[in-house]
Structure 1
Amino acid sequence: MLDFDNLEGYRDADTYDLLNDLSEVESKFYFDLAVQQGGPILDVACGTGRFTIPLAERGFDITGLDITPEMLELAKKKAERLNVSVNWVHADARQFDLSCQYRFIFTTGNSFQHFLDRASVDGLLGSVHRHLEEDGVFAFETRNPNISLLKTDENIEKDAGSWTDNYGYHCSSTYRRSYDHITQLEHYIFTNRRWKEVSKVVETVEPFALRYFFPQELESLLFYNGFELEEMYGNFDMSPFQADSPLMVCVCRKRQK
């Protein structure tokens, strides 16, 4: 579908970890669900363990699964430093078999939008369904598609931020974006710059894509993959979902046959 590696931006796990703090409201939402459901817990697309590790610190029996080796390597180091136990698994979320089931499965960080076509989404949901206990909960969030916003400022260069990395390099990034209504993909072109001396700036160009799902489409995808959508919130504060909500925060269970 794409002619580039859509995971390339996640190879630099240190920078991802530096720039992606877990917000308090997001953390509370998933932590409360974990307390309600109990373990064992599976964090799909766990990345650097930004939420897997805090749950492990609170004593939950938790497994973190991710496809990117660099992210898992950093997650393992962080867990070791904190002396917490996590079962880390390197696997593709679209096709994995852990030979066990979980009370609570979640994927956060808008990871759901990385599954760009129906086969990928079906693969993810099928894998989750197989690993979820009959009365277990699957939760995730995805950005709410607002067409007027998605079609605004297309192909205009914008600032994506600047920072200093763990090696003392100055870094900055800009991007251009566009939305393809047919594929429902938002395409980005990032231009990343890294330097210690202004005369020696290294510049790289990195394409990236995200999938958007519409509310009724999302509910249908869940239904036909064996889930009942119990709740759809508009944000992690559990506010009602509305047309202008930033997110679709979903809480699902296995559909009763």
Structure 2
Amino acid sequence: MVLNNFEEYDDPILYDKENEQFMPELPFLLKWASYTQGTIIDLACGTGRLTIPMAKNGYKLIGVDIHVGMIKEARKKAAHFDLPIEWVEQDCTTLKLTTKSNFIYSVGNSFQHFLTNQSQDDFFSSVHKHLEKGGVFIFGTRFPSVEELLQPSTEEYWRTYTDSDTLYNVDLYTISFYDSLNQIQQYTTIRKYKNSEGQIVDEKRTNISLRYVFPKEMERMVQDNGLEIVDVYQDWNETPATNDSYELIYVCKKI
């Protein structure tokens, strides 16, 4: 994982404000968890957005992330509950856990943070090494559709939410540029904080780079690393993938 690609995660509190309430993956992950036994591994777990709810449903988990601030916040949140979670600060491309698992997952499009062919292969190699034979690996990534890649390079409105501390409305905008040669999208997220009169009182910008992988490219990469794709969906409701998909959900097994 590229070490200077963490700006979006330097503020774990802000990350949770904007993302913690969204858990579309949870029912799907719980379904697969019910088929397996033993410890489940959550790779690039962040602040435990899915790790903690999974553990609350009675499963034992290991949450792994390279970002010390995210892991620290995850531990803090989990401390309020008596949950069977082990938090590990490690790079997912050089994973060295003492546990193997029948079920590993990585959500939140975390796979797109691996920007080079080598880092992608190293990530899959780590997964393969820590999966039991026949074990399941589930991950998602944005679908590189024309609409997704050719977003405007000017400010584009995304959504609005209310900051829970200040009660300011926060308007989110994005600026993007796609580097076709490297298949990397450069994103800038702009947050405009507005008071009750609608005046902008603060503005924050963060940058992130995300790698896009085309389906046939992914198929070959997965197979080259000792896994096979069992199913591909366009969402966590198991809708079949189409050319109009926004993301792709891969269900893989260790051969």
Matched letter for residue 229 of structure 1 = I
Q: Is the CA contact (8 Å cut-off) linking 1:169 and 1:195 kept in structure 2?
A: no
Letter in 1 for 2:49: R
Question: Within 5 Å, which residues of 2 pair with 1:63-82?
Answer: 63-82=62-81
DSSP 3-state at the match of 2:80: helix
In the alignment, does 2:105 pair up with 1:106?
Answer: yes
Structure 1: unaligned runs, 5 residues or longer: none
Q: Per the alignment, do residues 204 and 135 of structure 1 end up closer, same or farther by CA in structure 2, a change over 3 Å counting? A: same
- What RMSD over aligned residues (CA atoms) do the two structures have, in Å? 2.4
Aligned to 2:140: 141
The one of 147, 156, 165 aligned to 1:158: 156
For 2:249 and 2:136, locate their aligned partners in 1 and report how far apart those are by CA, in whole Å: 13
Q: Deviations over 1:25-79 (max 9, x none)?
A: 4211111011112321000000111111111112211100011111111111111
CA 1:173–1:148 in 2, change beyond 3 Å: closer, same or farther? closer
Deviations 1:4-41 (A, max 9, x none): 92111111111111211454642111110111123210
CA 5–35 in structure 1, closer or farther in 2 if over 3 Å, else same? same
Structure 2 Cα separation of the partners of residues 149 and 90 of structure 1: 32
Distance 2:50 2:237 in 1: 17
Shift of 1:203: 3.8
Q: Which amino acid aligns with 2:155?
A: E
Q: Output the CA distance in 2 between the equivalents of 1:194 and 1:238.
A: 36
Deviates more, 1:158-167 or 1:131-140: 158-167
Residue identity in the other structure for 2:154:
I
| Residue 207 (structure 1) shift | 2.0
Distance in 1 between residues matched to 2:194 and 2:76, nearest whole Å: 27
Query: How many pairs align?
Result: 253
Change (3 A) 1:146 1:42: same
Distance 1:14 1:24 in 2: 17
> What displacement does 1:149 show?
4.0
Q: What corresponds to 2:235 in structure 1?
A: 235
Local SS of the residue matching 2:34 = helix
Q: Residue in 2 aligned with 1:123?
A: 122
> Where do residues 242-253 of structure 1 align in structure 2 (5 Å cutoff)?
242-253=242-253
Q: Distance in 2 between matches of 1:226 and 1:24?
A: 29
More off after superposition, 204-213 vs 33-42? 204-213
1:175–1:215 Cα change, 3 Å: same
Pair 169,237 (structure 1): closer, same or farther in 2 beyond 3 Å = closer
SS state at 2:154 partner: coil
